[in-house]
Amino acid sequence: MPLSFRHLTSTKQLSRADADAVLSRAAAMDKVLAKGKPDDRMHGKILAALFYEPSTRTRLSFETAMLRLGGQVITADGFQFSSLYKGETIEDTITMVSQYADIIAMRHPEQGSADKAASVSLVPFINAGDGPGQHPTQALLDLYTIAKERGKVDGLRVAMVGDLKFGRTVHSLTFLLGLYKDLHFTYVSPKELKIPEKVTSFLKEKDIPFEEMTTFDGAFDADIIYMTRIQKERFADASEYERLKHVYVLHADQLKGKNATVLHPLPRVGEIDPDVDALPNAAYFRQAKNGVPTRMALIEMLLEG
């Protein structure tokens, strides 16, 4: 089925039907990848990857996704070298780039930049992260990972831990999971980094149960433990970052006898000890791998529309 939108800037755009369709197409793309053979369904198509903030997994998985589909990629990275640094508006940049490519993925440090870009793009546009705002493709690959690891999405207990104030992945995933039934959320963070009102008001409006706490113990009875790093780049005061950076560290012994699937959008900077890596429920590297089929699915579906 086609998606109900042409540009993807926020998980709030998706319906349950949209989300389920992406999961189904991502599963089909996993089968394409498993064949290990070239695929040419995007032959002649070009993805423009515009990354004005540092990125490893997101950028590489977008580029890999397009190449695996037989398409090509053009790139621009580094804010200091960009036309934006010279004073060009986001709108002018996107208007120009959308005449070079068939689809655009952009990461930018300014919250709201994706909406500006989508408002003028002549081709499908995908938000690859807009500052502390949204990261919809990360949320979709997280959703795909949850469905694969747990066999379902409805009825799960989800604990989110760490930087919940600036964590765009946490915000995006909460909005997306809100499409599903009988979920319960536990948010674990220092009071300085608590989940923002835009998220809690959404949960209240949807009558989705949640709790907020500062102690890590509240996470261990969940089905999903979604760890996040304390983001140094979001702090104006370096000493505040140093005080909070290792406030929650997950160790293998804390998961003994537990059935929780551990996720993390990566990179980790100490909040998951390497002793967790060998556990069967440590799914964060499989989660990163799922970025390729999920983004393959989105690229194809948006270019079909």
Summarize the confidence of residues 152-160 as an average pLDDT.
98
Is this model's pTM higher than 0.85 or not? yes
Is 53 a residue whose pLDDT tops 60? Answer: yes
Are 80 and 142 found together in one domain?
A: no
Summarize the confidence of residues 247-259 as an average pLDDT.
93
**Cα 7 to Cα 235: distance, rounded to the nearest angstrom:** 31
Are 109 and 200 found together in one domain?
A: no
- Mean pLDDT score across all residues of the chain: 92
pLDDT of residue 232: 62
**Cα 231 to Cα 225: distance, rounded to the nearest angstrom:** 18
**Cα 95 to Cα 148: distance, rounded to the nearest angstrom:** 38
Report if residue 5 sits inside a domain: no
How confident is residue 203, by pLDDT bands cut at 50, 70 and 90?
A: very high
Is 235 a residue whose pLDDT tops 60? Answer: no
Summarize the confidence of residues 86-114 as an average pLDDT.
93
Are 263 and 282 found together in one domain?
A: yes
**Cα 232 to Cα 253: distance, rounded to the nearest angstrom:** 27
pLDDT of residue 236: 59
Report if residue 4 sits inside a domain: no
Helices (H), the chain: 16-35, 57-68, 90-97, 113-120, 136-150, 168-177, 197-205, 238-244, 284-289, 291-304
What's the structural domain count of the chain?
A: 2
Are 71 and 160 found together in one domain?
A: no
Residue with tokens 């807009």: 130
pLDDT tens, position by position, 40-52: 999 999 999 999 8
> Which domain CATH number covers 235?
3.40.50.1370
pLDDT of residue 247: 84
pLDDT tens, position by position, 55-87: 889 999 999 999 999 999 999 876 655 666 678
Are 90 and 217 found together in one domain?
A: no
pLDDT of residue 228: 94
Give the residue numbers annotated as catalytic, written as ranges. 57-58, 86, 107, 135
pLDDT of residue 233: 62
Segments forming the whole domain that contains residue 118: 11-135+291-304
pLDDT tens, position by position, 174-202: 999 999 999 999 999 988 899 999 999 99
Report if residue 274 sits inside a domain: yes
Are 171 and 29 found together in one domain?
A: no
Are 54 and 37 found together in one domain?
A: yes
Report if residue 3 sits inside a domain: no
